[in-house]
Amino acid sequence: MRVTFTAINFGYRSPLKREFLKGNIKLERDITGHKIDKRNVTLDHTIPKARGGKSKLDNYSLMDMVTNHLRNTNSLKGLIDVPSLIDYIIVMLNSRTENFDGIEYLKEWLPNLRKEV
């Protein structure tokens, strides 16, 4: 049985997702190893809002919608696929546009990821 989710815009405006949707961030998998594309990508709160995480760029990662939904407020511990995480970091290191700097993003995001794993 295949579960289908519809993308819902909760008002979050993030250059991370916007640049991915424009094709400027060339990412194939999220940090859990699931394939992502324009149809199934969403923003994941690295530290869930229910546990004090903020809706800010330094707390977002791109994630498959179904994985994000199933994760809910659980920790990322045990969900991260190390090769996919390494690819995610490499892609972000090489992503720079007028509205997004992958290096600056990683400097702020990685400490939050570290708290979660």
Residue ranges per structural domain of the chain? 15-116
Q: Which residues contact 113 (CB under 8 A, 6 or more apart)?
A: 31, 46, 61, 76
pTM, full prediction: 0.87
Each residue of 8-66: pLDDT tens digit?
Answer: 555 457 999 999 999 999 999 999 999 999 999 999 999 999 999 999 999 999 999 99
Distance CA 46, CA 59 (A): 5
> Tokens in use for 71?
């994760």
Instruction: Tell me which residue of 48, 51, 24 sits closest to 38, measured CA to CA.
Output: 24
CATH topology of domain 15-116: DNA Binding (I), subunit A (1.10.30)
Distance CA 36, CA 76 (A): 17
